Structure 1
Amino acid sequence: MWRSNARARPTGWASARRVAACLYSLATRVSLALVVLAGAAQAQGFQTSAPHAILIDVATGAVLFEKAADDPIAPASMAKIMTAAVLFEEIRQGRLKLDDEFGISENAWRKGGAPSGGSAMFAQLGSRVKIVDLIQGIVVQSGNDASIAVAEGIAGSEDNFANLMTKRARELGLTKSVFRNATGLGHPEQKTTARELAKLSQHVIETYPDLYKYFGQREFTWNKIRQQNRNPLIAMDIGADGLKTGYIEESGYGLVGSAVQNDQRLIVVVAGLKTARDRATEARKLLDWGFRSFEARMLFAAGEEVGDVRVYGGEKGSVAVAAKVPVKVLMQRGSSEKLVARIVYMGPLRAPVEPGQEVARLRVTRGDTQALDLPLYSTAAVARGSLSQRAFDGLIELGVGLARRAFAKI
């Protein structure tokens, strides 16, 4: 086992004890153990009646609260967030423009429009609708007709589009989400999780800010029918600006919401509730609690060295790593929770290494909850070493491999 000291000292923790060590383990990862005791008072818990819930801070990725967040759920109309995400990516890539038009087929009209009895934009059969209007039909009015029209316009059929939705989910690291339609209507194979809905929403907010704005629009009129945004948080004057509600009998009432207060953005997901009032109440309670109960604390300044990553075959045996942004975590006020931070990478890193190269991730946990996950970058170049240096590193790696296999047999 290789051992080295972390170079960086956490800043902004005048009242906290700091311990840091860097370990290169046989599992080919480096761990930076950072123990922080943040006060004497016990952290207060939070209770929600939602069977499934999660609350995350967008800037840090910190999970502030979770309950059965990885259990599979039927997304209902919250699936339309992925429908919008696929459409937004087509626009971002230049393959579609807001002024382009898609037709309203008989399938879209009968299955998702006025004859269906479900949520609809009320687009007319055979008409052509601009994409900018279809976006509002999807994210403001939760229109099934608008969703199907987009699916058919992009992929030729809703089935093909659903495959694109699942493919996009995998590209975004959403491993449990499976989509079978663009609307969220009930399907036994259509599943996601509260955590993955939150991650998807974070992606939409951060990647498509110019299109995300439509989620916060309070109303939209089409075909002379004015409809209010179905997201109850929008009207609560709490800084909410998205995203979607959902309901089918199988799933109960759910909601994905996002709000900003004092330059802090939170995303909340609740699912499985019995009434629309319950989902609005529980989502707001979680947001209010998150904004009120947490404060940001600095671990490392932007560019400050966090620790070292071992380098194989280089002129130097390691390289210092740092984050490009300030490393902050959210801690509950008055909490005595312990933070543990790890520098994680598949290693050792092979030379040559360029300065500013992404080489690892800093993962901070608070108890059983992941509080932060950020990329780390090399702070200097490491050229390839001499033949003798590479040979020595090869012997070391051989020894590590033998030890790893030996431990695996125990």
Structure 2
Amino acid sequence: MLTSMRSFVVCLLATICVPVFAAQVIVPAPPELSAKAYLLIDADTGKVIVESNADEVMEPASLTKMMTSYIVSEEIESGRLTEDALVLVSDDAWRRGGSASGSSTMFLDPRSEVRVIDLLRGVIIQSGNDASIALAQHIAGDESAFADVMNQQAQLLGMNSTNFENATGWPAEGHVTTARDLAILARALVNDHPEHYALYSEKYFKYNGINQPNRNRLLFRDDSVDGMKTGHTESAGYCLVASAKQDDMRLISVVLGTKSDSARTQDSQKLLSYGFRYYKTYTLYNEGEAISDARVWKGLTDKVSLTVNSDIEVTIPRGAHKSVKAVTRVDSIIEAPVAPGQILGSLLLKLEDEVLAEYDLVAATKVDEAGFFARTWDSIMLMFEDDEEAASE
């Protein structure tokens, strides 16, 4: 039986034949920012649009609370916690994070019982250290054990340069992350727990008679912004992870280490405006869409349609989709039986010299084996195929 494989290439987009004098999409250079590190990505595709020092290890300050809230949402989704469960506010949580601490606080009363959902709002909207500590102690017994949970979750998400020492972001040796890791966490918040991500868009939260505004100023000046979280300590500087959605495109920006609240807001706005103005996410193929056909030997039919297992989306400069080149590579010898979803080749997407992505091409339907005589005939024909291949080599 023939074991050698060869590939044939099929150009799927007419633009593969665009002449060299075709107009190029012009994208200006990204804006210059004052932040020490920053990143802009598409939330759906994960495409990095702009980055600078995105892998530099830095202090996250209260951006830490994004992970605190993520774990609370995970606990609720798993059934180990409910939104209406009551949490006892310990003296320790009040002392280190309450009104007496001088830090950002929800103004919880010591030894009071507070609903989980209210504490979650306190963490997200008010950046309450007391709420963060109370939730950490309720879930894991103490804050140190909760930090272990945070680190385990960070590894599961692929935040490989992150280490948490507490639930609040209070400065501690070894409490670090990167802009890239924070973008990963932000995507997870949006995609994994949309019902709780909605809390990040709330502009005010009143508790214990005190109404506090969300510290994310972008919520009050840009209707497309619906999250996420600010952070600030003297050593970390002013930080902001922001997310905005226009039409079907969501962007996430991460800005770390600016010198003021206004600077982090302006830098974030510049990134988001640049991304929306010059980039767009295009759906090039839909799940199950027939992309090509492949020859099948020894089957009841001699062809099978090839498709992809999920929608194929790419984030590229606006208008550049007309210049995307799609190339299929299909195994030349495919023998029945063929199962639906069986990988039979690959689809490569390119924009100029950049490889955008590569995907598996799979069988859209099954192909059963033919009868004895048909299989025998195809076996004979395959010998000629083998001879032609050897001669061409």
TM (norm. structure 2) is 0.78
SS at match of 1:96: coil
1:202 and 2:168 matched: no
Question: Structure 1 unaligned runs (5+)?
Answer: 20-35, 310-315, 344-350, 385-410
Could you say if the C-alpha distance between residues 352 and 163 of structure 1 is closer, same or farther in structure 2, counting changes exceeding 3 Å? farther
Tell me the residue number matched to 1:255.
240
* Contact in 2 for aligned 1:76/1:251 (Cα 8 Å): yes
SS at match of 2:100: helix
Choose the corresponding residue for 1:4, options 7, 10, 14: 7
Choose the corresponding residue for 2:28, options 35, 44, 49: 44
Distance (Å, rounded) in 2 between the aligned partners of 1:170 and 1:334: 37
1:280 and 2:265 matched: yes
SS at match of 1:257: strand
Could you say if the C-alpha distance between residues 275 and 141 of structure 1 is closer, same or farther in structure 2, counting changes exceeding 3 Å? same
Query: Displacement of 1:279 after TM fit?
Result: 0.2
Query: Displacement of 1:306 after TM fit?
Result: 6.2
Q: CA RMSD in A?
A: 4.0
The structure with more radius of gyration: 2
Distance (Å, rounded) in 2 between the aligned partners of 1:126 and 1:354: 62
* Contact in 2 for aligned 1:51/1:271 (Cα 8 Å): yes
Distance (Å, rounded) in 1 between the aligned partners of 2:113 and 2:220: 31
Distance (Å, rounded) in 2 between the aligned partners of 1:369 and 1:135: 43
Aligned letter for 2:136?
Answer: A
Query: Displacement of 1:297 after TM fit?
Result: 3.8
1:173 and 2:158 matched: yes
Aligned ranges 1:83-98 → 2 under 5 Å: 83-98=68-83
Tell me the residue number matched to 2:376.
none
Tell me the residue number matched to 2:279.
294
Distance (Å, rounded) in 2 between the aligned partners of 1:163 and 1:353: 47
Distance (Å, rounded) in 2 between the aligned partners of 1:119 and 1:360: 55
Distance (Å, rounded) in 2 between the aligned partners of 1:236 and 1:194: 24
Choose the corresponding residue for 1:161, options 146, 160, 184: 146
Tell me the residue number matched to 2:44.
59
1:183 and 2:182 matched: no
Aligned ranges 1:5-20 → 2 under 5 Å: 5=8, 9-10=12-13, 16-17=15-16
1:76 and 2:44 matched: no
Could you say if the C-alpha distance between residues 294 and 122 of structure 1 is closer, same or farther in structure 2, counting changes exceeding 3 Å? same
SS at match of 2:254: strand
Cα-to-partner distance string for 1:165-211 (whole Å, 9 max, x where unaligned) = 01011111221111110001111211111111111111111111111
State how many pairs are aligned: 362
Could you say if the C-alpha distance between residues 64 and 372 of structure 1 is closer, same or farther in structure 2, counting changes exceeding 3 Å? farther
1:104 and 2:89 matched: yes
Cα-to-partner distance string for 1:252-279 (whole Å, 9 max, x where unaligned) = 1110011111232111111111111100
SS at match of 1:17: helix
Distance (Å, rounded) in 2 between the aligned partners of 1:342 and 1:52: 36
Cα-to-partner distance string for 1:101-155 (whole Å, 9 max, x where unaligned) = 1111111111111111000001000101000100110000000000000000000
Which moves more between the two structures, 364-373 or 180-189? Answer: 364-373
Distance (Å, rounded) in 2 between the aligned partners of 1:363 and 1:100: 50
* Contact in 1 for aligned 2:12/2:326 (Cα 8 Å): no
Aligned letter for 2:278?
Answer: S
* Contact in 1 for aligned 2:225/2:242 (Cα 8 Å): yes
* Contact in 2 for aligned 1:77/1:142 (Cα 8 Å): yes
Distance (Å, rounded) in 2 between the aligned partners of 1:176 and 1:232: 28
SS at match of 2:16: coil
Aligned letter for 1:40?
Answer: Q
Q: What is the identity percentage for the equivalent residue pairs of Structure 1 and Structure 2?
A: 38
Query: Displacement of 1:302 after TM fit?
Result: 3.0
1:220 and 2:205 matched: yes
* Contact in 1 for aligned 2:16/2:326 (Cα 8 Å): no
Query: Displacement of 1:223 after TM fit?
Result: 1.1
* Contact in 2 for aligned 1:43/1:334 (Cα 8 Å): no
Aligned letter for 1:4?
Answer: S
Distance (Å, rounded) in 2 between the aligned partners of 1:61 and 1:281: 23
SS at match of 1:154: helix
TM (norm. structure 1) is 0.75
Query: Displacement of 1:337 after TM fit?
Result: 12
Choose the corresponding residue for 2:230, options 236, 245, 270: 245
Distance (Å, rounded) in 2 between the aligned partners of 1:153 and 1:176: 27
1:324 and 2:310 matched: yes
Distance (Å, rounded) in 2 between the aligned partners of 1:210 and 1:242: 13
Could you say if the C-alpha distance between residues 333 and 54 of structure 1 is closer, same or farther in structure 2, counting changes exceeding 3 Å? same
SS at match of 1:253: strand
Query: Displacement of 1:304 after TM fit?
Result: 3.5
Which moves more between the two structures, 50-59 or 123-132? Answer: 50-59
Aligned letter for 1:17?
Answer: I
1:148 and 2:147 matched: no
Aligned ranges 1:394-405 → 2 under 5 Å: none
Tell me the residue number matched to 2:255.
270
